[in-house]
Chains A and B, each alone.
Chain A
Amino acid sequence: MMSPEDAARKPLPTPDADTVAFWRGLQDGKLLLQHCRRCGHVQYYQQTTCRNCGNDELEHRPASGRGKVHSFSVVHRAPGPAFKADVPYAVLLVELTEGPRMISTFIGGRPEDVTFDMDVELTFDKVSEDFTLPRFKKA
């Protein structure tokens, strides 16, 4: 169980062996996708094997940063004290041009301006000394 002090802090990711390069890439201004050299499958979720064909010949390539809003939901009641000051904010399910979908949030505009299939563009939000989060603005 979590103490009230912990609940008031925004959660930061704890990278694991599968994601160290991904989080370092974001600090360098790159959203790294995994491309399978065998079957061409592109994946956002970082793992040691291709989810399509199962082999481990994966190559990191930076995403173009372009995508569309597949779905979204504007949060009015924060999930815990850490996000209370941010509401309302739009959580996006973005479909990247390369194919994979990812969760992020909308910045640089009002949440009520977000629409289905809206074109969005990746931006990098440095949230701490060690972490940069991928967010999206209107393209």
Chain B
Amino acid sequence: MTAASLRGKVAVIGIGMSAVGKVPGRSPLSLAAEAARNALADAGVAKSEVDGVLSSHAFASPFHRFSVAFSEYFGIRPTFSNTLQVSGATAATMFSIGAAAIHGGLAKMVLLVAADNLMTGLTPDLALRSLTESRDQQYEMPFGIPVANTFAMTAHRHMKEFGTTPQQLAEVAVVHRRHASRTPGAQQTTPITVDDVLNSPMVTTPYHKLDCSLISDGGAAFLLTSADYAEGFGIQKPVYILGCGECYTHEHIFLMPSLTATGAVESGRRAYAMAGYGPAEMHVAGIYDCFTGTVIMMLEDLGFCRKGEGGPFVADGQTTYGGTIPSNTHGGLLSFAHPGMPGSLFHFHEVIAQLRGECRGRQVQNARLGLVHSLGAGFATNATTVLGTKDTL
């Protein structure tokens, strides 16, 4: 069996979110249960039908086996379950592993669910520290290197090699904020300018505060089942998983093969090959945006523009309505919400809602093919998913 056989075999039949942003007084499990209930209601499926659960770890939760704790909390007894960990790329791997499990007969109805409350569940210092802890305790942590610094060094080198400017980085944040202003429930909706970004406090060069993603509470959930089963359920607008790709190039930033060409080149290539569609055919994208420069590099590595031209591409309006690839139309991690590992699930929620034509004032017209790229740990982990409507099968 080749990997290509996953194409179009599995459909997303339900999507849901918890309350998002600043949501005090709630545990990660409570947020996860709210998102799951909404996803099941969206699909019109009873929780007793769910026989598989995939999750990611929550920093504010004491449960290492989050998917198992969730199932107990939610009152279900799945026969397929795991808590996945490839940092920010986990979201996309939940989709590929969930789809593979369904196609391989391990489960019929898989719930993908994750939530965390980095904003109110941890003090700000401890939230930051919890992210620092993900660096190597011998080779990195003694020097005081936060995750932001790792990403900053890649963007900084990109500026040196290709002439990318602080203004172009700032444009990414400006576009995302404008998108968030049209999204109900987004955490930050006040419009900002390039000057606002450049005048915000420096965090770690070249990144200012407004070049960095938010810290949030919230979660999301999705229901996957086989394309055949979805048909049997009479699902109105199933969205199909057309292609998946992953690539892991290193663990430590000092062993990253190139600071400016990432594993997204390979994960994207594999996802496009499985889907049978390329970047030029995508109508909408969700691109992991932990920092502004990350988006610029991913637009290049995923083939939406040429290497080194990501900065001008964004500044020229190519990532918003009317441009080459409207991206992160919900506002992304920079302006919608970033509750840690579940953050990239909101990109999936948005792209799927776009493909279902449910985005009202922020709808990308006739969106039928979409891409989501999730990444983490200073580009150590990369995973790409191509999604499409029924007529793209």
Cβ < 8 Å to A, chain B residues 128-186: 128-133, 137-146, 148-149, 152-154, 156-157, 160
Nearest opposing residue in chain A for B60, CB measure:
A1
In the bound assembly, the distance between CA atoms of A76 and B200 in angstroms comes to 12
Among B251-259, B299-307, B323-331, the one that faces the other chain is B251-259
Question: Which of A11, A44, A72, A74 neighbours the largest number of chain B CB atoms within 10 Å of its CB?
Answer: A11
A138 within 8 A of B: no
Contact call B140/A103, Cβ cutoff below 8 A: yes
Q: Give the chain B neighbours of A10 by CB distance below 8 A.
A: 142, 144
Q: Give the chain A neighbours of B132 by CB distance below 8 A.
A: 79-80
Given known A75-B144, A80-B125, contact A102–B254 (CB-CB < 8 A): yes
Q: Give the shortest distance, in Å, between A5 (CB) and chain B (any CB).
A: 12
Question: Which of A71, A81, A127 neighbours the largest number of chain B CB atoms within 10 Å of its CB?
Answer: A71
Cβ < 8 Å to A, chain B residues 103-129: 122-123, 125-126, 128-129
In the bound assembly, the distance between CA atoms of A100 and B313 in angstroms comes to 34
Q: Give the shortest distance, in Å, between B262 (CB) and chain A (any CB).
A: 14
Residue interface bits A28-63, CB-to-B below 8 A is 1, else 0: 000000000000000011000000000000000000
In the bound assembly, the distance between CA atoms of A133 and B91 in angstroms comes to 36
Give chain B's interface residue range (CB within 8 Å of chain A).
35 or more
Q: Which of A15, A74, A100 contacts B205 (CB 8 A)?
A: A74
Residue interface bits B208-228, CB-to-A below 8 A is 1, else 0: 010000000000000000000
B191 within 8 A of A: no
Q: Give the chain B neighbours of A78 by CB distance below 8 A.
A: 144
In the bound assembly, the distance between CA atoms of A33 and B160 in angstroms comes to 29
Q: Give the shortest distance, in Å, between A11 (CB) and chain B (any CB).
A: 5
A139 within 8 A of B: no
Q: Give the shortest distance, in Å, between B197 (CB) and chain A (any CB).
A: 15
Q: Which of A1, A73, A102, A116 contacts B139 (CB 8 A)?
A: A102
Contact call B143/A103, Cβ cutoff below 8 A: yes
Q: Which of B137, B204, B252 contacts A76 (CB 8 A)?
A: B204
In the bound assembly, the distance between CA atoms of A23 and B137 in angstroms comes to 13
Residue interface bits B23-39, CB-to-A below 8 A is 1, else 0: 00000000000000000
Nearest opposing residue in chain A for B124, CB measure:
A80
Q: Give the shortest distance, in Å, between A128 (CB) and chain B (any CB).
A: 10
Residue interface bits A1-39, CB-to-B below 8 A is 1, else 0: 110100100111111100100010000000000000000
Give chain A's interface residue range (CB within 8 Å of chain B).
35 or more
Contact call B156/A133, Cβ cutoff below 8 A: no
Q: Give the shortest distance, in Å, between B260 (CB) and chain A (any CB).
A: 9
B202 within 8 A of A: yes
B3 within 8 A of A: no
In the bound assembly, the distance between CA atoms of A98 and B128 in angstroms comes to 34
Q: Give the chain B neighbours of A73 by CB distance below 8 A.
A: 149, 152-153, 156, 204-207
Q: Give the chain B neighbours of A89 by CB distance below 8 A.
A: 144
A91 within 8 A of B: yes
B203 within 8 A of A: yes
Contact call B138/A13, Cβ cutoff below 8 A: yes
Contact call A91/B144, Cβ cutoff below 8 A: yes
Known: A23-B138, A73-B149. 12 other contacts (CB 8 A): A1-B126, A1-B130, A10-B142, A45-B254, A71-B160, A72-B205, A73-B156, A73-B205, A76-B202, A77-B204, A80-B129, A80-B132
Counting from the closest, the 10 A-B pairs by CB-CB distance are A79-B146, A73-B152, A83-B144, A13-B138, A80-B129, A71-B157, A71-B153, A101-B254, A79-B132, A76-B202
**Which A residues lie at the B interface, using CB under 8 A?**
1-2, 4, 7, 10-16, 19, 23, 44-45, 70-83, 86, 89, 91, 93, 100-105, 116, 127, 131, 133
Q: 16 A-B contacts, Cβ less than 8 Å apart? A: A11-B137, A11-B142, A13-B139, A44-B254, A71-B153, A72-B205, A73-B204, A73-B206, A75-B203, A75-B204, A82-B144, A101-B255, A103-B252, A103-B254, A105-B144, A116-B160
